[in-house]
Structure 1
Amino acid sequence: MGRCNGRCTLVGFCCLQLVAALERQIFDFLGYQWAPILANFLHIMAVILGIFGTIQYRSKYLMMYAVWLVLWVGWNAFIICFYLEVGRLSQDRDFIMTFNTSLHRSWWMENGPGCLVTPVMNSNLAPEDHHVITVSGCLLDYQYIEVVSSATQIFLALFGFVYACYVSKVFLEEEDSFDFIGGFDSYGYQAPQKTSHLQLQPLYTSG
């Protein structure tokens, strides 16, 4: 029952990760955030791999999933530092998130709760095919929404990593102690005894 609980818990965390990643992918697509889109796609593939490995008793897949979660935690920690502008990181460097292909930022910047967007007409600051806006009245600034989203991803990844290591260890122990048909341990296996049968033939003498 303990093994089943561990597997079921891991599958549950993987499903939560999958839902959270899909939700994040949608909003990153709306904001044309190409770097997060790529990272989210890889994360979704890794989570699916983790679910498959858990259901099919594949410890190697779980190890790969656990290694990816370490990278995923690092990426989300970078996202948090980026939006909080820790150190030399600045949100003015759009190329970090968009590969310098657009001027878009987080979708929540203009669509956060309570945000009022006002376009600035005839602004010389706007490049071609773009416009300048002012955003005011937000109940929660977009950078904090992104920080909460990344913190949630880190929380789920840490729990997923712990359970992936645990379930993988259980699978490896089962593989090592598996008793094949006939048994290969010293107590269950007995070598066949060789017996020789000699048929005696009567000897006849002619006189």
Structure 2
Amino acid sequence: MGRCNGRCTLVGFCCLQLVAALERQIFDFLGYQWAPILANFLHIMAVILGIFGTIQYRSRYLMMYAVWLVLWVGWNAFIICFYLEVGRLSQDRDFIMTFNTSLHRSWWMENGPGCLVTPVLNSQLAPEDHHVITVSGCLLDYQYIEVVSSATQIFLALFGFVYACYVSKVFLEEEDSFDFIGGFDSYGYQAPQKTSHLQLQPLYT
């Protein structure tokens, strides 16, 4: 029963990670942020691998899932530092998130709660095929929305890592204790007893 509880909890965390990653992927697509889109895609694949490994009792898949979660925590920590402009990181460097293919940033920058977007006409700052806008009145700035999203991903990843290690350990212990030849422990095996020789006598009709 305890083993089932661990597996069910891990599957539950994986499902939460999957929903959170899909939600994040949608908004990153709307913002044309190609680096997060690629990272989210790899994360979704890793979570699906973790679910499959949990259901199919594959400890190797769970180990791969756990290793990816370590990388995923590092990536989200970088996202938090990027939007808070920790150290030399700056949001003015668009190529970090968009591979220098567009000027778009977070989708929440223009569509956050309470945000009022005002276009600036005839601005000399805008390149060709782009426009300048001013955003005001936001109840929560877009960088803090991105930070909360990344912090949620880290929270789910930490719990997923702990349960992945636990369930993987349980699977390995079961594989070591199982006798693949007879299906039973060697202590329960009994050698066949020798039968005594019987004398054969002719049968008369």
- Shorter-chain TM-score above 0.5: yes
* CA deviations over 1:122-174 (Å, ceiling 9, x no partner): 00100010000000000000000000000000000000000000000000000
For structure 1, the 5+ residue unaligned runs are: none
1:14 deviates by 0.3
Q: Does the residue aligned with 1:117 lie in a helix, a strand or coil?
A: strand
* CA deviations over 1:20-73 (Å, ceiling 9, x no partner): 000000000000000000000000000000000000000000000000000000
1:182 deviates by 3.0
Cα separation, partners in 2 of 1:202 and 1:26, compared to 1, 3 Å: closer
1:188 deviates by 2.4
8 Å CA contact 2:58–2:171 kept in 1: the answer is yes
Cα separation, partners in 2 of 1:62 and 1:202, compared to 1, 3 Å: closer
8 Å CA contact 2:94–2:105 kept in 1: the answer is yes
Give the aligned partner of residue 112 of structure 2.
Answer: 112
Give the aligned partner of residue 19 of structure 2.
Answer: 19
In the aligned structure 2, how far is the partner of 1:185 from the partner of 1:17?
39
In the aligned structure 2, how far is the partner of 1:203 from the partner of 1:107?
98
Query: Scaled by the length of structure 2, what TM-score is found?
Result: 0.92
In the aligned structure 2, how far is the partner of 1:184 from the partner of 1:5?
25
1:179 deviates by 3.0
Give the aligned partner of residue 93 of structure 1.
Answer: 93
Query: Scaled by the length of structure 1, what TM-score is found?
Result: 0.91
1:189 deviates by 3.1
1:78 deviates by 0.1
Cα separation, partners in 2 of 1:154 and 1:197, compared to 1, 3 Å: same
Cα separation, partners in 2 of 1:203 and 1:60, compared to 1, 3 Å: closer
Give the aligned partner of residue 32 of structure 1.
Answer: 32
8 Å CA contact 1:183–1:189 kept in 2: the answer is no
Larger radius of gyration: 1
Q: Does the residue aligned with 1:187 lie in a helix, a strand or coil?
A: helix
Cα separation, partners in 2 of 1:42 and 1:201, compared to 1, 3 Å: same
Question: Sequence identity, in percent?
Answer: 99
8 Å CA contact 2:116–2:138 kept in 1: the answer is yes
For structure 2, the 5+ residue unaligned runs are: none
CA RMSD for the aligned pairs? 3.3
Q: Does the residue aligned with 2:118 lie in a helix, a strand or coil?
A: strand
8 Å CA contact 2:77–2:150 kept in 1: the answer is yes
Cα separation, partners in 2 of 1:5 and 1:201, compared to 1, 3 Å: closer
8 Å CA contact 1:117–1:133 kept in 2: the answer is yes
Count of paired positions: 205
1:180 deviates by 3.5
* CA deviations over 1:91-122 (Å, ceiling 9, x no partner): 00000000000000000000000000000000
In the aligned structure 2, how far is the partner of 1:2 from the partner of 1:121?
64
In the aligned structure 1, how far is the partner of 2:202 from the partner of 2:128?
115
Cα separation, partners in 2 of 1:186 and 1:49, compared to 1, 3 Å: closer
Cα separation, partners in 2 of 1:189 and 1:120, compared to 1, 3 Å: same
In the aligned structure 2, how far is the partner of 1:71 from the partner of 1:169?
21
